[in-house]
Amino acid sequence: MNQSGNIDILFEICCENEDQAQQIMQWRNDPTTLQHFYHHEPKVWETFWVEYCDEYLTGGPRPVFALQNGERVAFLRFNTAAHPAGSAVDISINVAPDARGRGVGARVLLAVRDHLIKQGVVAIIAEVRQANTASLKAFRKAGYESQGLADITVPDTGESVTVHRFVQFLGDQ
């Protein structure tokens, strides 16, 4: 059992593996998922594979699949983030389309704490689109502290987006 009491969530570290990347791309291209991402266009394999190897597998702790009863139920990506508390990551979560609506997101967000503590992370930061009610609910249920609303501009599209900012401090904070 981990510190957050989750015995049913384990993590599989992602590597340079085409099967893993194809599953991530499939989940990412799900119409519901696309509505909530900063980039609404579906990915295509030829460019996604390069992006996965060059960007997903660098810049922070390795991404992971969350497993429940041996099945992949979510994908988490981490990017190093600046924070006064020390080593921090910006987290993105994508719950598998067939696992939605069962509280998986909140359980995964609770369980990932132990995984990140072992890697020296002291804070997790998240930005969630205001319209993404499922993710907002998951982060709140997992105990993330609201840092309020912010209007941001997506760098490569120029789209203005309102996001809820969340933070969770790990360890003895």
**pLDDT tens per residue, range 108-131:** 999 999 999 999 999 999 999 998
In a domain? residue 3: no
User: Does any domain span residue 102?
Assistant: yes
Q: What is the pLDDT of residues 69-91, one digit of tens each?
A: 999 999 999 998 887 877 899 99
- Tell me, yes or no, whether 90 lies in a domain: yes
Structural domain that includes position 59: 9-169
**pLDDT at position 172:** 59
Q: Is residue 1 part of a domain?
A: no
Per DSSP, 56 falls in state: I
Q: Which one-letter amino acid corresponds to residue 79?
A: N
Whether residue 97 lies inside any domain: the answer is: yes
16 in a structural domain: yes
Q: What is the pLDDT of residue 96?
A: 97
| Rounded Cα–Cα distance for residues 54 and 13 (Å) | 16
pLDDT for the residue 4: 44
What distance in Å separates the CA atoms of residue 13 and residue 77, rounded to the nearest whole number?
10
DSSP symbol at 144:
P
pLDDT per 10-residue tile (average), the chain, 173 residues: 59 96 96 84 95 89 95 95 84 95 95 93 93 94 95 86 93 60
Q: State residue 1's pLDDT score.
A: 38
Chain-centre distance for alpha carbon 130? 16
Q: Which pLDDT score is estimated for 30?
A: 94
What pLDDT is attached to residue 41? 87
Assigned domain for 4 exists: no
Amino acid at 108: V
Whether 2 is in a domain gets the answer: no
Q: What's the number of domains the chain is made of?
A: 1
- The CATH number of whichever domain residue 160 belongs to comes to 3.40.630.30
What pLDDT, on the 0 to 100 scale, is given for residue 7?
55
